[in-house]
Amino acid sequence: MAKSAIDILKEAILLERRGKAFYTTCAKQTQSEAAKKIFQMMADEEDEHIQFLSKQFAHYQQHKEFKQSEAGSDVDDSTVMEILSEKIRKEISAAGFEAAAISAAMDFETRAIKIYSDRAEQATDPNEKEMYQMLADWEKGHHFWLHKINEDLKEQIWYDNNFWPF
């Protein structure tokens, strides 16, 4: 049975709240300043998603249609993430808490991408389609950086432990 637009919005808001809680907890628990900044930046972006989706939810409940989406985040995090990713490699163990949190966050972002991409594909309302595609793209950006950091950490552990066969 297909989920209603309201059900999907509720699921999306809950997903974002869980993400914010996860990233906020990780930011508080890490000893790495670079990891703390990344997790806090992710928590802040999840909060933006919550606010955005909550406005859409309220509008949809009142008007039974989706508002046209405002442009996504104007912040280009790529430079910040590049710098932080380098610092993380120096500050954390590839087998420690932060690395495990990054791996879990990747799974979290993958789930969000699937939910948003699937809904964007199924939506018949052009504003709904645009909104979910924008959210999917935003989450893909998160996943990209988490994946890059994770790969850097995996490579680091290989070098640190001489796992290379040559």
Domains: count for the chain: 1
Q: Which residues contact 144 (CB under 8 A, 6 or more apart)?
A: none
165 occurs within a structural domain: no
102 occurs within a structural domain: yes
107-132 pLDDT, tens digit each: 999 999 999 999 999 999 999 999 99
64-123 pLDDT, tens digit each: 999 887 755 544 566 666 666 777 767 776 668 888 899 999 999 999 999 999 999 999
Q: Given a cut of 60, is residue 13 above it in pLDDT? A: yes
87 occurs within a structural domain: yes
| Cα(77)–Cα(58) distance, integer angstroms | 29
152 occurs within a structural domain: yes
DSSP state of 31: S
Domain of residue 45, CATH code: 1.20.1260.10
Structural domain span for residue 149? 5-67+77-160
- pTM for this prediction: 0.83
CA angle, 114 then 79 then 94, to 5°: 65
166 occurs within a structural domain: no
Structure tokens at 51: 């606010």
| Cα(148)–Cα(127) distance, integer angstroms | 32
State the distance between the two ends of the chain, measured CA to CA, in whole angstroms: 54
Q: Where do we find the tokens 């789930």?
A: 111
